[in-house]
Amino acid sequence: MADETAMLNESYDSFELQVTETATLTTVDETAMLNKECDGVERHVSETATLIKEYDGIKRQLTPLIDYDGIQVQAIDGQVASVLHEINIRQTLLNQTQKADTHMQKRVHRNKNPRFLHYLVCNRAVKVECLKEELQQLETVVQTLLIKLSFDSAKLSRLQQQQKEAHAIMNKKLQMQGQSRQLFNQVVDCQPPTQTLKRLRAQEWKERSLLATEQIFLEAIGNSVQQVQQGLSLFQEAEYLFRRAESINERAKNVYADICDEAVGSDFGSDSSERSWLFGLAEERDLQRQHDKKKYQANGVAIQAFQIIEPGFSAFPFKARARFPQLCASIGQGDAILWHAGSFGTAKNDIRYDILGCQIEGNARVVGQCASMTSQQLKLMVAVQDAAAINVHQLQAGIQNLEQQIIDERNNIFNGMRSAVTASPAA
């Protein structure tokens, strides 16, 4: 019994020792982990403080350049270009004047030292004096141009030096601005995003996705509108051609009536009457050819209009009908337009011309009705397009607002880190 008690006591002591050792090891590990985390936090704060310090230094360097922008650089570039243009003009004028001066010197020499036919020149001495005066004027112009070119060259040199310095300053400003943005992003991106920033980014992504869909929708409407506009233009052209054919047909009827009157006249058979009748017949045939040409051309244009308009109505987005039911109620009634096309007079009728003009007038009336219906539906389609465009503009404005809010929130995060680093003892 005493042995069992001793063994139990020994086992208990051993267990208690193991527990104590385990607790000690756990405490040591936790302390090490805490120390490691503290070192990481201190190192992160130190790195952030270094970045913010570098950022503030660049901002101080940018302060004197805050009012220096691209307008000043463009102004200097404009001055340099203007002086270069002036120099080119004066250099061209100088070359021409020097060429004239050389030619004038030769003329003076020839007349002052005559050879062959120059002896025959009347008042040669007076002419030589006149040529010398012209030569003197040319030399004066050359000297004046040389002085002005020298002045302009010096001015150009000064402006080019200023231009070089201005571009150097502008490049330095842009470089420092890029560095400051990079440092700003490093400071902000190494921080966990706030709930506000997460919400703004999610909303921005949603709005951009919706904008992409709306832009595709607007483009589809625009394609349909473009096709219908082209078809309407062709309808109007066909109506004009039919009206021209109708006018020619009226002239042909009048000529035909005159021919008939001459055929039954009392003097028919005489030379003058026969010539008049032949001329009238030739004119009638020419008008018939013009009439047929205009009529066939009008039929072709009208058929082309139908072929363009039908796919335009078919491609009109169904989404637009669901979103704007009132505006789209009558859009795409291409069947009604095509039904009107069935009332066209055939272009293959074997007739010399339409004596009554009913066929041409009917075709012109039908095309006019098609153009009127297409114009009404086009107005509705344009109204839908305008409504969709307004929606796109609103989405774009909303995205710009979200972008500004995101910028403001990132500025708040940066300023908060700057305040925390400034208040930190390590700073």
Mean pLDDT of 337-360: 42
Residues 204 and 185 in one domain: no
Mean pLDDT of 196-209: 94
Q: How many domains does the chain have?
A: 3
Strand partners, 270: 268
| pLDDT band at residue 365 under the 50/70/90 scheme | confident
Instruction: Label residue 310 exposed, middle or buried (CB < 10 Å: 0-12, 13-18, 19+).
Output: middle
Phi then psi dihedrals of residue 269, to 5 deg: 115, -20
Mean pLDDT of 375-381: 88
User: Is 184 within a domain?
Assistant: yes
Residues 386 and 277 in one domain: yes
| Residue 353 reports pLDDT greater than 50 | no
User: Is 376 within a domain?
Assistant: yes
| pLDDT band at residue 351 under the 50/70/90 scheme | very low
Residues 51 and 140 in one domain: no
Longest Cα pair distance anywhere in the chain, in angstroms?
170
Residue that terminates a domain, selected from 124, 155, 190: 190
User: Is 372 within a domain?
Assistant: yes
226-230: list long-range contacts, CB under 8 Å, 24+ apart.
Answer: 226/312, 227/308, 227/309, 227/311, 227/312, 227/315, 228/309, 228/312, 228/313, 228/374, 228/377, 228/378, 228/381, 229/378, 230/308, 230/312
* Rounded Cα–Cα distance for residues 210 and 384 (Å): 18
Residues 342 and 404 in one domain: yes
* pLDDT given at position 267: 53
Residue-wise burial string across 311-320, b where 16 or more C-beta atoms lie within 10 A, e elsewhere: ebbeebbebb
User: Is 62 within a domain?
Assistant: no
| pLDDT band at residue 265 under the 50/70/90 scheme | low
| Residue 62 reports pLDDT greater than 50 | yes
Residues 206 and 179 in one domain: no
* pLDDT given at position 27: 53
Stretch among 11-15, 165-169, 218-222, 408-412 having the lowest mean pLDDT: 11-15
Residues 221 and 291 in one domain: yes
Three-state DSSP state, 346 = coil
Cα-to-chain-centroid distance, residue 147: 47
pLDDT greater at residue 202 or residue 7? 202
> Are 306 and 337 within 8 A, CB to CB?
yes
Residues 185 and 206 in one domain: no
User: Is 61 within a domain?
Assistant: no
| Residue 339 reports pLDDT greater than 90 | no
| Residue 310 reports pLDDT greater than 50 | yes
* pLDDT given at position 355: 32
> Are 227 and 85 within 8 A, CB to CB?
no
* pLDDT given at position 332: 61
Domain boundaries, position 18: 2-56
Token pair listed for 367 = 């095309």
What percent of the chain is modeled with pLDDT above 90? 24
Cα-to-chain-centroid distance, residue 106: 60
> Are 47 and 426 within 8 A, CB to CB?
no
Residues 273 and 311 in one domain: yes
8-22, 118-132, 319-333, 382-396, range with greatest mean pLDDT: 382-396
- Side-chain half-sphere of 407: how many Cα atoms within 13 Å? 7
* Rounded Cα–Cα distance for residues 186 and 45 (Å): 13
Residues 413 and 340 in one domain: yes
Residue that terminates a domain, selected from 162, 190, 218: 190
User: How far lies 317's CA from each of 225, 307, 392, in Å?
Assistant: 11, 19, 16
Residue that terminates a domain, selected from 30, 56, 82: 56
What percent of the chain is modeled with pLDDT above 70? 74
User: Is 410 within a domain?
Assistant: yes
Residues 351 and 203 in one domain: yes
| Residue 348 reports pLDDT greater than 80 | no
* pLDDT given at position 116: 62
Across the chain, mean pLDDT equals 78
User: Is 296 within a domain?
Assistant: yes
Strand partners, 268: 270
* Rounded Cα–Cα distance for residues 47 and 289 (Å): 92
User: Is 123 within a domain?
Assistant: yes
Residues 122 and 84 in one domain: yes
Cα torsion for 20, 23, 25, 27, to the nearest 10°?
A: -140
Residues 52 and 17 in one domain: yes
> Are 388 and 214 within 8 A, CB to CB?
yes
* Rounded Cα–Cα distance for residues 116 and 212 (Å): 90
Q: Measuring CA to CA, which residue among 89, 87, 94, 92 is closest to residue 153?
A: 87
Look at the block and give the residue holding tokens 């309407």: 232
